[in-house]
Structure 1
Amino acid sequence: MSGAGRAVLGVGDRLQFDGRSWAVGGLQGVRVRLVDDAGDAQVLLLAHVLASPGFELLEAGPSPARLDPVGLIDALPATVLERARQWERHVVEVQTGLPPDAPAGVRPREPYDPARHTLAQREAVKAAELTEAGQPTSAVTVKRMRLRYRSEGLWGLVDHRATRPVSSYGRVDDRVVAAVEAVMVTETGESTGTRSRLRHRVEQLLAVEHGPGVVPMPSTATFYRLAAVMDAGRHTFGEATTRRSLANRPARPFTRAVAVRPGELVQVDTSPLDVMALLDDGVTGRVELSVVLDVATRSICAAVLRPQGTKAVDAALLLAKMLVPEPMRPGWADALAMARSRIPHRRLLDLDARLEHAAARPVIVPETIITDRGAVFVSETFVRACARLGISVEPARPGTPTDKGHVERTFGSIRTLFCQHVAGYVGPNVTRRGTAAATEAVWSLPQLQELLDEWIVAGWQPRPHEGLRDPDAGGRVLSPNEMFAAAIAAAGYVTLPLTGTDYLELLPVEWRTIGDHGIQIDYRHYHSPDLGRYRHGSSGVVGKGKQWEVHYDPYDLSHVFVRDHQCGGWITATWTHLPMVGQPFADFTWRAARQIVAARGGDDTDETAVARALDDLLTRAGAGPGGDARHQRVAARTRAAARPIPSTPPADPEEPADAEEEGQDLPLAKVIPFGVFEPGDERRYR
């Protein structure tokens, strides 16, 4: 049996049987009804017909009805569509005897009457009619159009020369297109070049792969047009940073990071702040901003400013800050209190007493933190702190900023909503920087931190965010505080109190022995009377022998904290040369003092000499801008990093218990300081 290997017959099929042409009129079980061209019919066994020596499938019947591609038909030129509709009238008349729009009760024209003429005869008549009308057509063409209409509908009658896709590359040789594609890929990581360089490299590649002169190059103008078309979405001739960022996009479609409860997914990152800060001695410099963002509510859980060169301890302290409420500060409007916000303050107060005088910034305990692969966030200090707090850390894939796109976008929002309104704004790059940006800086780092904290409470948390919409309220845009209130109503509120001892646990660790002169770290000696009984003794920690666990704050090296493995608690040890300096200092300040001693030909391991140089450095730099600029900057960074944020205002009268219910104006919230904001106070914990 011929005919595309069909296993069975279908109604409408035409076949050769017993020396005659038949059409399949019906099928029932194992029987088939055959009708010849004269209208005579007979019912036979299907197996008998298929096994007949003269059986042959001449023409398959119509395929199941299929809808016309309406969109493609509507896009056709008017002349092409009109010609297809004319062919539809002719084909339908040949098939049924009547045109599509024939009125009811009208009889077919005599040459197209199916009761008197066969289908082949009707096709021949239609071909002669069209030829006579000035459209030369053969019966074979009419039959072909009829079969197309039966299988594809009106779309099968369209002249598809008008629907052929047009190449975006014109008539340029495909080998040239492939070479341009290959060269553009190799230029992703290179410095940006011109189109003439691209043309030169394409010519070289074609000569290597196909031989010199084998592949014809298009004209310069045509090549430049080709390069412009193929450069779409690549940024080959633009900024290199943008090109690399675009190349890092995943091949699959972008999908949103989905989080339905506060803390389920938190993203953290550090970026330079686009504001110059004024340090104590008048030296201005850029600072770095570290942000923790909750994806579910878009709340900025914590934001910390530090001098450039963020350390692992800064990331650990960032965790500590997000786990405690933001206290109300002196001078803040009472409208910034959590009691006045959309957050259900009175209900949460029953669960967490720390919220009594807190500002309107949610306290969110993270479950999973997405970080980049910077040294700060993959450090032992940060990972250990997260592990101790029960937080899962997931580093983003290398070179894939889209893994933490929410916090990346937040930096842009902070630039436009906060930074550009602050004195000393420098813009995102040097091309947008003003001529006097450095001289306009008037805020110190602690002051800038206070401004940022106040803006987060007043400008970010109550501001509607386009990424937060309520599907039950017609897609109304919600603020982070409103989203937090809705989320905790469904998911609940989780607390994780952080004590002063927890702060010490977040500090970096060194293991040191306790000798006659106390503990030595980087040629500095620390001692305390409580260490006397442990001199040259074992800590009792398996594998550490006589080494003891020492925690230190890189921004205040005047004290270290030793874990008492024998009696429990902590022992605060003071630097033995602290009276020579009289003020806190950071690790980078100590290194600068050692470099001064070494530059003078002295011994940079001599603790006394380095202490004198350190005191001299801080004294000279603190006197004003007349000293060495580099030393001024070191001293200013030390003060900026070590200065605590003001936290304890005068006591306010107690808040009336029924003020919130009666809608009365509440007094300024009473501020309760938290130890995490006062690193120096943690020395009291032992």
Structure 2
Amino acid sequence: MLMSAGQVPVLRVGEWVRFDGDEHQVVALAGTSVRLRSRGGTAQVVLLGFLLAATDFELLDGRQTVPVMEPIGLLETLPGEVLERARRWERHIVEVVTGRSPDSPKTAPPRAGYDPASSTVKGRDAAKAAELTASGQPTSARTVTRMRLRYGEQGLWGLVDQRVTRGSDLVGRADERLVTAVLAELNAQTHASTGTRGRLMRRVSAALDAEYGPGVVPVPGRSAFYELIGVLASGRHSFGAATTRRTLANRPPAPFTPSLATRPGELVQIDSTLLDVMVLLDSGVPGRPELTMVVDVATRTIAAAVLRPAGTKGVDAALLLARTLVPEPMRPGWSAALRMSASRLPHARLLDIDARLQAAAAKPVIVPETIVIDHGRVFVSEVFTRACARLGVSIQPARKGTPTDKPIVERQFSSIGTLFCQHVAGYTGYNVIRRGDRITDEPLWGLTELQDLLDEWIVAGWQHRPHDGLRDPQAPGRAFSPNDAYAAMVAASGYLPMTLSGQDYLELLPLHWRHINEYGITIDYRTYDGVALPHGKRSTVAEQGGRWEVRYDPYDLSHVYVRTPARWITAAWTHLPMVGAPFADFTWRHARRMAAARGLPGDNETEVARVLDQLLTRAGNGPVDKTTARVAARTRAARRPTLPDAQIIDRPVAAPAVDPAPAVPFGLFDVDAEAERWR
């Protein structure tokens, strides 16, 4: 665009401006400060940047106009003949405005009929229209006026033939109603099964006939219609993989704010998924375990990861949250290099807080502040929400059907699949297309062994592996490991993790309120008793009508824990000697159903205990049916691991023998063998 330097606006003393809803005169300039005085006499000093950024700022001197900046990038994309035609128009318009052609010398006088001193703008527009028409380019004065005004507003870009800039000529020529119908059908394909273009064409034709009448909106031939679909369906995967189409539809609208955290525990994410590995359950039935994992956003630390048979419960998620608050203990066989004292973690500083870190593995303790969950019933359960409230953790629900609200833990599952699962015997692949056909013929790991392997890989591999999402803004070329990031953030934020105590652990267990009778406590047709129980007494909790607070572990119903004003008391199941092994709540329910199927009373504790003992005995010798095998497997595999100082066990301990003399042992009494002998 041809402009003179005098057109650039300049703010000077004495100029009038519009600002803050009033007109002001510039009375002084000092550096970047501007002193203004309104027409009412009010004076104020503002920064120049603040003044220019005001939405209502305007320079009231009409002689100064802001120069129009041309879209140079768009001009370079135009065809040569289109750009040349716009430049020819520019020369004509400049002559109309200034009286001189851009090619003429500056000292040359204006051409006759174009002198601004002796002719009007309207007259010059008419003269230029007549000149172009005489040269073989029919043009009206109105066209010249329109081009002159567009040039003043947009510069050279305003003289470009806008038909060239409308995008695809195919879409530009297509009926707008047809384009709308095609887009509506493409949007409807998001959650539908993938079809062909022919099906889409048929549905579009039917929709147009139903809305506008048969044949009112013409539908092009198959080739032209397919070309139209190719333009409109670009990037949608409408005729590709349905999973890809749904994934693209789930992306948050751009721009969006990513999950950011500046200190450990500020934001953590939790989720569950089936692991891509087949394991051999205790009953001998192979199956895929469910992995529930807590990930710290700031450091990418896997704070806790637990494998369970399919069917994770709310108490699993609550106890998993508790595991993030206790140190990871060293296991037998682990290398000494995996100790926290041998890592970059601030071991000496943290050891002053908790002595248990002396034998801890090189994985930091994370104290969550906010946890992001989805709407799975495990995470919205009362047990989990109560655990978060007890620990002072805020819950932030993700939007339904939006996994991008917790992208860190979702991506971590993929990393575990590629970095850990594919190297484990029994790997299934992440979909059936990649799955082998003889996986169960391989020697499979047990669930307990796989849990140990996963824990060791997290400490030895993941926590020391540089992560591309952990970079120092001052040195972006270096990627930090989760342990490196934790050490740096502890120093920067003054982070001191306060680990969980044993009493806090009991507070996370599910709760029952029960009376303590002379025979003990009854829960779901099970009776618990202990010498230390306050038999026949009422509790001091008036709101509960004298009932006592009883906590229980759903994966070990052999004992319950009763809160008294002085301490927690452990009460054992009265029929535990008959069964002799821990069992879960779902195992007890299954035993009651088996007893009812045999015609035995389901509320008879002794009969159910016998069925339960037979169930666990048969599970040790091999499965009888699939349902029994799954229940027995879940019972054995889902036993809660012992956490350091995280349990209060008040069970009676046998007194040491007074006479150290050796005793002649009796033979072991086998209940099952004795029963068979009497039969």
Give yes or no for TM over 0.5: yes
Matched, 1:358 2:360: yes
- State the partner residue of 1:530: 532
| 1:609-648 aligned within 5 A | 609-624=607-622, 627-642=624-639, 644=641
| Aligned AA (2:540) | G
Specify the alignment match of 1:70 in structure 2: 72
User: 1:570 corresponds to which residue?
Assistant: 568
| Equivalent in 425, 430, 444 of residue 442 of structure 1 | 444
The answer to whether the aligner puts 1:551 opposite 2:551 as a matched pair is yes
1:633 offset after TM fit, Å? 2.7
Listed one character per residue, the Cα deviations across residues 95-154 of structure 1 (whole Å, up to 9, x for unaligned) are 556554667x76458769959985889888877876787666677766665555444332
In the TM superposition, what is the alpha-carbon distance from 1:428 to its structure 2 partner? 1.7
Task: Indicate conservation of the 8 Å contact 1:93/1:112, yes or no.
Answer: no
Q: C-alpha separation between the residues in 2 aligned to 1:423 and 1:353? A: 38
Tell me how far 1:186 sits from its aligned partner.
4.6
- Is the Cα–Cα contact under 8 Å of residues 506 and 648 in structure 2 kept in the other structure? no
Q: Which stretch of structure 1 is more off in the superposition, 576-585 or 508-517?
A: 508-517
Counterparts of 1:304 and 1:194, CA distance in 2: 44
Structure 2 Cα separation of the partners of residues 529 and 348 of structure 1: 41
- Cα distance in 2 for partners of 1:591, 1:189 equals 39
Judged with a 3 Å threshold, the aligned counterparts in structure 2 of structure 1 residues 211 and 136 are, in CA distance, closer, same or farther, namely closer
| Alpha-carbon offset, residue 79 of structure 1 | 1.7
Residue by residue over 1:64-83, the C-alpha shift from the partner in whole angstroms, topping out at 9 and shown as x without a partner, is 43122211211111122223
Structure 1 residues 1-34: Cα deviation after superposition (integer angstroms, max 9, x where no partner):
xxxxxxxxxx99xxxxxxxxxxxxxxx99xxxxx
8 Å CA contact 2:520–2:535 kept in 1: the answer is no
User: In structure 1, the residue corresponding to 2:566 is in which secondary structure?
Assistant: coil
Corresponding residue for residue 327 of structure 1: 329
Deviations 1:159-202 (A, max 9, x none): 33333333663544322333333344455455555544444443
Alignment partners' CA distance in 1, 2:169 and 2:648: 70
1:471, distance to aligned residue in structure 2 (A): 0.9
Query: Do the aligned partners of 2:569 and 2:650 also contact (CA within 8 Å) in 1?
Result: no
CA distance in 2 between partners of 1:252 and 1:559 (Å): 53
Question: Secondary structure of 1:370's match?
Answer: strand
Deviation sequence 1:384-435 (CA, Å, 0-9, x none): 1211211111222222222212111111111111111111111222232111
Instruction: Report the secondary structure of 2:380's partner residue.
Output: coil
Contact 2:519 2:535 (C-alpha < 8 Å) held by counterparts: no
Task: Give the counterpart of 1:601 among 585, 599, 602.
Answer: 599
Q: Which amino acid aligns with 2:597?
A: A
Contact 1:561 1:683 in 2 (8 A): no
Compute the displacement of 1:240 (Å).
5.1
Q: Deviations over 1:229-271 (max 9, x none)?
A: 4444555555555545544444453221221111111111111
Query: Quick check: 2:371–2:393 contact (8 Å CA) kept in 1?
Result: yes
After TM superposition, the score normalised by the length of structure 1 is: 0.78
CA distance in 1, matches of 2:216, 2:129: 50
Identity of aligned residues (%): 61
Structure 1: which amino acid aligns with 2:535?
Answer: Y
Q: Do the aligned residues in 1 keep the contact of 2:295 with 2:303 (CA within 8 Å)?
A: yes
Aligned partner of residue 365 in structure 1, secondary structure: coil
Contact 1:370 1:395 in 2 (8 A): yes
Structure 1 residues 644, 474: closer, same or farther in 2, change over 3 A? closer
Compared with structure 1, are the counterparts of its residues 204 and 683 closer, same or farther at alpha carbon in structure 2 (3 Å cutoff)?
farther
CA-based RMSD of the aligned residues comes to 3.4
The 1:585/1:168 distance shift into structure 2, 3 A limit, reads farther
Unaligned stretches of 5+ residues in structure 2 = 1-5, 8-14, 17-61, 654-679
Q: In the aligned structure 1, how far is the partner of 2:227 from the partner of 2:144?
A: 44
C-alpha separation between the residues in 1 aligned to 2:275 and 2:153?
66
CA drift of 1:316 comes to: 1.2
How many Å separate the matches in 2 of 1:505 and 1:644? 17
CA distance in structure 2 between the partners assigned to 1:346 and 1:514 by the alignment: 48
Match of 2:260 in 1: 258
Q: In structure 2, the residue corresponding to 1:465 is in which secondary structure?
A: coil
Partner of 2:272: 270
CA distance in 2 between counterparts of 1:113 and 1:175 reads 48
| Equivalent of residue 590 in structure 2, options 589, 592, 602 | 592
Q: When the two structures are superposed, what TM-score results if normalisation uses the length of structure 2?
A: 0.79
What SS class does the counterpart of residue 291 from structure 2 fall into?
A: strand
Asked if 2 retains the 8 angstrom alpha-carbon contact of 1:500 and 1:682, the reply is no
CA distance change for structure 1 residues 595 and 229 in 2, over 3 Å: closer, same or farther? farther
Aligned match of 2:3: none
Aligned: 1:161 with 2:163: yes
- Which residue is 1:675 aligned to? 645
Displacement of 1:477 in angstroms is 2.0
1:410 aligns with 2:412: yes
Contact 1:276/1:441 (CA < 8 Å) preserved in 2? no
CA drift of 1:288 comes to: 0.9
**Alpha carbons of structure 1 residues 342 and 102: separation in structure 2 relative to 1, 3 Å:** farther
Give the whole-Å Cα distance in 2 for the aligned partners of 1:113 and 1:227: 52
Query: Deviation per CA, 1:358-399, whole angstroms, max 9, x where unpaired?
Result: 222111111111111222112222111211211111222222
Query: Aligned partners of 1:339 and 1:267: how far apart in 2?
Result: 27
Shift of 1:525: 1.5
> Aligned partners of 2:182 and 2:153: how far apart in 1?
42
Q: Matches of 2:288 and 2:191 in 1, distance apart?
A: 28
**Alignment correspondent of 1:47:** none
Q: Distance in 2 between matches of 1:151 and 1:189?
A: 46
Structure 1 residue 344, shift from structure 2 partner? 2.5
For 2:398, the equivalent position in structure 1 comes to: 396
Quote the Cα distance in structure 1 between the aligned partners of 2:224 and 2:393.
57
Structure 2 counterpart SS, 1:494: coil
SS at match of 2:470: strand
Q: In structure 2, do the counterparts of structure 1 residues 226 and 539 end up closer, same or farther at CA, with 3 Å as the change threshold? A: farther
The code of the aligned residue for 2:68 comes to: R
- Supply the distance in 2 between the matched residues of 1:453 and 1:592 (Cα, whole angstroms): 31
Aligned residue for 1:215, secondary structure, equals coil
- Paired residues of 1:94 and 1:119 also in contact (CA < 8 A): no
SS in 1 for 2:184: helix
Query: In the alignment, is the contact (CA less than 8 A) between 1:622 and 1:632 conserved in 2?
Result: no
SS at match of 1:574: strand
Contact in 2 for aligned 1:538/1:547 (Cα 8 Å): yes
Deviates more, 1:616-625 or 1:244-253: 244-253
Q: Distance in 1 between matches of 2:229 and 2:596?
A: 58
Structure 1 position 310, deviation (Å): 0.7
Distance 1:219 1:682, change over 3 A: farther
Matched, 1:288 2:290: yes
Equivalent of 2:474, from 465, 472, 476? 472
Q: Which amino acid aligns with 2:580?
A: G
Provide the rounded CA distance (Å) in 2 between the counterparts of 1:139 and 1:503.
88
Aligned residue runs from structure 1 range 311-322, under 5 A: 311-322=313-324
Deviates more, 1:219-228 or 1:292-301: 219-228
Residue 551 of structure 2 aligns to a residue whose secondary structure is strand
Does structure 2 conserve the Cα–Cα contact (< 8 Å) formed by 1:94 and 1:112?
no
Structure 1 regions of 5+ residues with no counterpart? 1-10, 13-27, 30-59, 646-672
